[in-house]
Amino acid sequence: MKIRATAAAALSLAAMTLVAPGTAAAEPCGYYESGYGFHYNHCASGHVKVHVDVFHDFDYDICAHPGLNLLGLKVHERKIRNAWYVGGC
């Protein structure tokens, strides 16, 4: 009987481990695309100027704050190809 209780406890612990949420992967620094949009993740402190390269449209600059900056959504016609640091703002 004790073996069954130990086995049941081990199975419960294994099931909890499979269901428990893991830590989400951090977004990469700089430009990246997600399933819904285009982002620039500024990983340093302070505000910086970021150049945004747009396919078949005018490029533009933004003043990015530390952390995640949404550049645009994929549902819009505009297709952002890249974004990069160009200096302070």
Burial code (b: 16+ CB inside 10 Å, e: under 16) for 68-88 equals: ebebeeeeeeeebeebebeee
Q: What is the pLDDT of residues 50-74, one digit of tens each?
A: 999 999 889 999 999 999 999 999 8
Is residue 85's pLDDT more than 90?
Answer: yes
Is residue 19's pLDDT more than 50?
Answer: no
Separation of alpha carbons 51 and 86, rounded Å: 6
Residues in the chain: 89
Residues 25-88, CATH architecture: Sandwich (2.60)
Separation of alpha carbons 40 and 5, rounded Å: 52
According to the model, what pLDDT value does residue 75 have? 84
Q: What is the pLDDT of residues 22-54, one digit of tens each?
A: 334 578 999 999 999 999 999 999 999 999 999
Dihedral over Cα of 23, 37, 33, 52: its sign = negative
Separation of alpha carbons 68 and 33, rounded Å: 12
Q: What is the pTM of this model?
A: 0.67
Q: How confident is the model at residue 77 (pLDDT cuts 50, 70, 90)?
A: low
